[in-house]
Amino acid sequence: MIYLKKALRVAETGQDDVHDIVVEMLDAIAAKGEDAARQYARDLDRWTGEIILTPDMRAQAAALVPDRLKTDIQFAHRNIRRFAEAQRGTITDCEVEILPGLIAGQRQIPVSAAGCYVPGGRYSHIASAIMTITTARVAGVPHITACSPPRPGVGIPPAIIYAMDLCGADVIMAMGGVQGVAAMAHGLFGLPKADILVGPGNQYVAEAKRILFGHVGIDMFAGPTDSMVVADATADPELVATDLVGQAEHGYNSPVWLVTSDRALAEKVMDLVPGIIDSLPEPNRSSARAAWADYAEVMLCADAEGMAVVCDTYGPEHLHIQAADLDWWLQRLRSYGSLFLGEETTVAFGDKAAGPNHVLPTSGAARYTGGLSVHKFMKTVTWQRATRDGARPLAEATARISRMEGMEGHARSADIRLAKFFPHETFDLGAIDAAS
């Protein structure tokens, strides 16, 4: 593999530059509760309005959304819900008789409360509201809180409120940033404490979720979004270049990578990208230009297998294959957050409306985890029961293994059952010898 363009910087998941600030904010909110959260909302978002939206406020916001946009949001919601429902159908309870008299099983139980964070700073992330809330609702979560940063004098953009309401948010909270995340985690403003926090956000939100992990569950440790395009000689250079730029506009540190087996295509794409970036409006143009200059890479490989090795090594969040033999790629690739096959689709479709979730692992985490799904909102828990005859071999094995390990209390939990259930029998349960 040869680099035709090498990144000058590497996007990092860690947020050392904001860690101390976030810790201070979380500590203040944990100590002072709603008063501290409101103060941060006033200081950082210049918001002094209502925190919890009433039904009337939701209806008023919906009335401001153009009908065509409502139709588009409904279209995206149906697609995302349908895919989530298909996922939910693959998750089942089960039970098995492991040996005569011993039955074990699993249950799928949704968490009791979820907090969905919807970004609303530079961009109004309508799609994030649909992706997170819809998925939690399909999973069967009884209570869903959605929060988003309000804009001074405006509040949450009406289209985001409409999407939150349509998708089934029980509570909509006009609060963003660290304070919004903490309010959901601690159950402020009359909310139930969230069992899991999901949704993308800026570096402060990501760091707050990282610090709170353990106290609550989170979807994943998120870094800057990234995207990889794999293209061979059959690909359209203009489509490839446009797709790369489309993802680079996410932010100045959003890596985009092109992996190709055709040098002529690579050179054409590199020629096209600057002009496509220049055609964007601000601030998109500046973000894409910085991302392309500092974080983008173009890699030339000998063949499809060489390109696949690069894909699996990088583990990109988004992986778009614009190459021949799409079925081969589908079966071969192993590390990606979401896979896009062929020029007829694009990462932007997945970001907004196609169905599969757009909350995905970044910074190579796709090597070991997938993205947000109904699975994230559910717990797979196990159970077991036994007859007395079924308990007998279990108790014997447990007593002997426990004594070999030196765990006498465990062994006696088995001994006492054998003595109760089979009082007229004797068992070889291992010697009680501290020296051994």
List the single range of 9-13, 115-119, 420-424 with lowest mean pLDDT: 9-13
Residue 222: per-residue pLDDT? 85
For the chain, the average pLDDT equals 95
Predicted confidence band at 301 (pLDDT cuts at 50, 70, 90)?
Answer: very high
Q: Which two tokens stand for residue 98?
A: 């492991």
pLDDT score of 434 more than 50? no
Rounded to whole angstroms, the Cα distance separating 239 from 245 reads: 10
**Contact criterion met (CB below 8 Å) for 144 and 114:** yes
Instruction: Please report, rounded to a whole number, the percentage of residues in the chain having pLDDT higher than 70.
Output: 97
How far lies 70's CA from each of 64, 134, 158, 161, 396, in Å? 10, 16, 11, 11, 65
User: Which pLDDT tens digit goes with each residue over 178-214?
Assistant: 999 999 999 999 999 999 999 999 999 999 999 999 9
pLDDT score of 162 more than 50? yes
The contacts of residue 17 (CB under 8 Å, 6+ apart) are 203
- Measured in degrees and rounded to the nearest 5, phi and psi for residue 68 equal -65, -40
**Which of helix, strand or coil describes residue 309?**
helix
Predicted confidence band at 411 (pLDDT cuts at 50, 70, 90)?
Answer: very high
Helix or strand (DSSP H, E) at 395? helix 388-405
For tokens 């090594």, the residue is 313
User: Which pLDDT tens digit goes with each residue over 308-349?
Assistant: 999 999 999 999 999 999 999 999 999 999 999 999 999 999
**Contact criterion met (CB below 8 Å) for 3 and 270:** no
Rounded to whole angstroms, the Cα distance separating 436 from 307 reads: 56
Residue 9: per-residue pLDDT? 85
Give this prediction's pTM: 0.92
Provide the annotated active-site residues.
317-318
**Which of helix, strand or coil describes residue 200?**
coil
**Contact criterion met (CB below 8 Å) for 359 and 199:** yes
CA atoms within 13 A on the CB side of 236: 8
Predicted confidence band at 363 (pLDDT cuts at 50, 70, 90)?
Answer: very high
pLDDT score of 145 more than 80? yes
Handedness of CA 166, 168, 173, 177 (dihedral sign): negative
Residue 435: per-residue pLDDT? 39
User: Which pLDDT tens digit goes with each residue over 62-114?
Assistant: 999 999 999 999 999 999 999 999 999 999 999 999 999 999 999 999 999 99
pLDDT score of 397 more than 90? yes
Residue 124: per-residue pLDDT? 78
